[in-house]
């Protein structure tokens, strides 16, 4: 699925949607004690998706359309492995003119491979990512071929400066920036660790914020290799974009609204939350 012609058709389809829901029937096959085979199959297929992306880069074919294509192929793999994906609020991306800052919780690496396919039909996009992804054995070449902001996480002050400077420049160029302010991927939304960097960037650049709530524990974080955990097809992949917010003054109100949006959605989805909004 998702050759060039199919990708173009799917992109046009997404542009008309307010929501996307996996079209599937029946329950995924349960493998009992061999359930680990599903995870191995999933990760091998995802690696193949991005192996092909590497081939596209070598042939100078990895443009925005190629980036979206690989994301949609990852969606295809997720659904083929029994995953149900529900995406809400796509109309907010369509209705908002120009670039925005999208601020969300960060649960697993699954969102970083699925989100481009749902954002790129509406807006050019760059993610704020940890610097180690630039040298990742599977995704490093791809990461270095797309717009992004890399932070080291060893020096918070330097990271703040980099995100505000590079993020504002990308936004000036018309690029939407996606940021996960929580320090690390976690199935638990830690309110106290969810910093205000996203609203600070939006305030500096003079653009709206779009809240993003995620529940992507379909793919667990691995014990030894964080990007290679078990697969739980009974857990629906949930992605929801909220209404755009204007950032006024210190941005405290906008930040609180983003946090409350995520908390509300996670509670409805059965997610885990730590701490209390201020």
User: What would the pLDDT profile of 215-269 be if each residue is shown by its tens digit?
Assistant: 999 988 656 566 667 889 889 999 999 999 999 888 899 999 999 999 999 999 9
* pLDDT at residue number 168: 96
Q: Categorize the per-residue pLDDT at 1 as very low, low, confident or very high, splitting at 50, 70 and 90.
A: very low
Q: Are strands 101-104 and 209-215 parallel, antiparallel or unpaired?
A: parallel
* Mean pLDDT confidence for 142-162: 84
* Mean pLDDT confidence for 43-51: 91
DSSP 3-state of 253: helix
pLDDT at 172 over 50: yes
In a domain, 87, yes or no: yes
pLDDT at 18 over 70: yes
Overall domain count for the chain: 1
Phi-psi region of 270 (alpha: psi -120 to 50; beta: other; left: phi over 0): left
From CA 234, how far away is CA 221, in angstroms rounded? 16
pLDDT at 26 over 60: no
In a domain, 121, yes or no: yes
Label residues 192-226 b or e (16+ Cβ within 10 Å = b): eebebbbbbbbbbbebbbbbbbbbbbbbbbeeeee
In a domain, 5, yes or no: no
By residue range, what is the domain housing residue 67?
14-21+33-274
> Which range (14-18, 88-92, 139-143) has the least confidence?
139-143
In a domain, 3, yes or no: no
From CA 264, how far away is CA 226, in angstroms rounded? 27
* pLDDT at residue number 109: 87
- Mean pLDDT value across the chain: 87
- Report the CATH number at residue 259: 3.40.1130
Spatial contact of 115 and 239, defined as CB atoms under 8 Å apart: yes
In a domain, 178, yes or no: yes
67 vs 177, more confident: 177
pLDDT at 206 over 70: yes
Spatial contact of 21 and 93, defined as CB atoms under 8 Å apart: no
* pLDDT at residue number 32: 58
In a domain, 264, yes or no: yes
In a domain, 7, yes or no: no
* pLDDT at residue number 228: 64
* pLDDT at residue number 19: 92
* pLDDT at residue number 6: 64
In a domain, 241, yes or no: yes
């Amino acid at each position: 699925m998702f050759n060039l012609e199919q990708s173009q058709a799917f992109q046009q389809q997404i542009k008309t949607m307010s929501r996307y829901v996996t079209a599937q029937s029946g329950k995924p096959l349960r493998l009992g004690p061999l359930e680990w085979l599903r995870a191995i199959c999933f990760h091998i297929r995802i690696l193949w998706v991005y192996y092909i992306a590497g081939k596209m880069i070598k042939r100078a074919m990895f443009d925005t359309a190629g980036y979206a294509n690989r994301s949609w192929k990852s969606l295809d793999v997720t659904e083929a492995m029994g995953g149900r994906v529900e995406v809400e609020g796509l109309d907010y991306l369509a209705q908002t003119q120009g670039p925005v800052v999208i601020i969300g919780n960060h649960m697993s690496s699954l969102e970083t491979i699925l989100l481009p396919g749902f954002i790129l039909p509406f807006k050019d996009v760059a993610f704020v990512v940890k610097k180690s992804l630039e040298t990742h054995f599977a995704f490093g070449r791809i990461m270095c071929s797309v717009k992004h902001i890399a932070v080291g996480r060893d020096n918070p002050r330097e990271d703040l400066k980099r995100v505000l400077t590079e993020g504002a420049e990308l936004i000036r160029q018309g690029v939407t920036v996606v940021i996960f302010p929580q320090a690390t991927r976690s199935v638990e939304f830690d309110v106290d660790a969810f910093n205000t960097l996203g609203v600070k960037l939006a305030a500096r650049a003079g653009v709206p914020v779009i809240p993003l709530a995620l529940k992507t524990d379909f793919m667990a974080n691995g014990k030894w290799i964080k990007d290679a955990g078990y697969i739980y097809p009974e857990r629906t992949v949930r992605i929801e974009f909220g209404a755009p917010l204007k950032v006024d003054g210190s941005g405290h109100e906008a930040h609180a609204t983003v946090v409350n949006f995520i908390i509300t959605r996670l509670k409805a989805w059965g997610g885990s939350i730590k701490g209390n909004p201020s």
